[in-house]
Amino acid sequence: MVLSGLTRRSSRPWAVVGVTVACLTAGVLALTHGSRPAHADPSALPHTSVEVSASRCGRGWTTPVSGVQVFDLHNPTDGAAEVLLEDPRSQAVYGEVEGIGPGTTRELTVRLGTGAYAFKCVPDDTDAVTGPTVHISGGRSGPAAAPVTEHDLIPPALAYQKWVGTGLSEVVRLTTGLRDAVDRGDLAAARTAWLPAHLQYERMGAAYDAFGEADRAINGTDAGLRGGVHDKDFTGFHRVEYGLWHGESATGLRAPAAALLKSVTALRDDWAGTRMDPAQLGLRAHEILENTVQFELTGRTDYGSGSNLATARANLDGTEQVLARLRPVLAGRYAGLSGLRSAVERAGRTLDGFGHDGTWTPLGRLSRRQRENVDAVLGDLVERLASVATLCDPRRTV
């Protein structure tokens, strides 16, 4: 997985203070992001106009009914706002709409049954306001979100960060072996040593944002560089890969290999003083494989080794490490956790089928059927992980 030198998926800055993380169930996602139940005809559903403002949050909902319904959320103010429909007692979330602009109306489609409900309006740069409580009798509501505080995410983040520190030490060890092989002029040994070192770095995909500019020096591509692969700013694993598989001499590769080792060593030494944002873990779990599909499965990061499928497997390993830390948070909240686990295992088996004794099938040698299968399996997993990202999306509630 390569982010540096390529187009990163943008991520919103997360505030740590005053944030509650709501982990929504997969069913809620289908109702809160512009979609509606497949069986529901929008024209046949009851509509209720609800005001979104600090002074009149939730006003307009005067005749509550059970079942699938649409709320037309209107923001009459001059600033954007987020709206949550929740249980006012437990703060479990039934639906959410973000970014309702000034003077605009957005739809929220939900299924409501017996229970108490209230809209919470969260205007930009203003305290959250909870509207009046509405009671419904009869029927079954859709799934709700169990609130999770930032403090629940701190232990998994710290555990993951500790694992990354151990992984960086292994990167340094393996990269030292790569540099040594180049120094003694044994390019066959260097080609053998390159892949394990690179894969070890790739397994730590959820930490790349915390790596900052170090990631560009270590794992950047030639994208955007005037001189392409011959540009002086093309450095790191892919620079060494290009030289090893394009006939460059050991003499020419000594400086790039030494620079790579220096960069990974500096990153390892500085890591103890770095702090990852706990709220990023769910997002990163999705981004790792999203970028894998975008860059590895398209061959955009192949500089001669033909190891994209090996890199995809390493990215999957990294995703599993993140999910292992998040599992205590997701258990009991994410109904699709068992299916997600099965999808991860299926992806692992699929990718492992292309690696034998350290040798991996290049993308170009896959049959059409094999390629379609890889794309389908990884694509399905990315879609499931998008739910995890949204499940642990921080929401301001004060």
Confidence (pLDDT) at 40: 54
**CA–centroid distance for 184 within its chain:** 41
Yes or no: say if 164 and 214 are a contact pair by the CB < 8 Å rule.
no
Residue 20 — very low, low, confident or very high, per pLDDT cuts 50/70/90? very low
CA distance 100 to 111: 21
pLDDT, tens only, 255-310: 999 999 999 999 999 999 988 888 888 888 899 999 999 999 999 999 999 999 99
Residues of the chain with pLDDT > 70, as a percent, come to 87
Query: Could you write out the three-class secondary structure of 323-368?
Result: HHHHHHHHCCCCCCHHHHHHHHHHHHHHHHCCEECCEECCHHHCCH
Confidence (pLDDT) at 124: 87
Yes or no: say if 61 and 69 are a contact pair by the CB < 8 Å rule.
no
* One-letter amino acid of 71: F
pLDDT higher than threshold 70 for residue 152: yes
End-to-end Cα spacing for the chain: 37
CA distance 230 to 252: 12
Residue 7: its H or E element:
none
Confidence (pLDDT) at 148: 67
Give residues with Cβ within 8 angstroms of 350, minimum separation 6. 373, 374, 377, 378
| 313-337: b (≥16 Cβ within 10 Å) or e | bbbbbbbbbbbebbeebbeebbebb
pLDDT, tens only, 186-227: 999 999 999 999 999 999 987 877 898 999 999 999 999 999
Altogether, the residues listed in the chain come to a count of 398
pLDDT higher than threshold 60 for residue 33: no
CA distance 313 to 289: 10
Confidence (pLDDT) at 16: 31
CA distance 60 to 39: 27
pLDDT higher than threshold 80 for residue 316: yes
Yes or no: say if 70 and 108 are a contact pair by the CB < 8 Å rule.
yes
| DSSP-derived 3-state class of residue 269 | helix
Confidence (pLDDT) at 321: 96
CA distance 321 to 157: 11
- Write down the pTM of the prediction: 0.79
For range 316-337, the mean pLDDT: 90
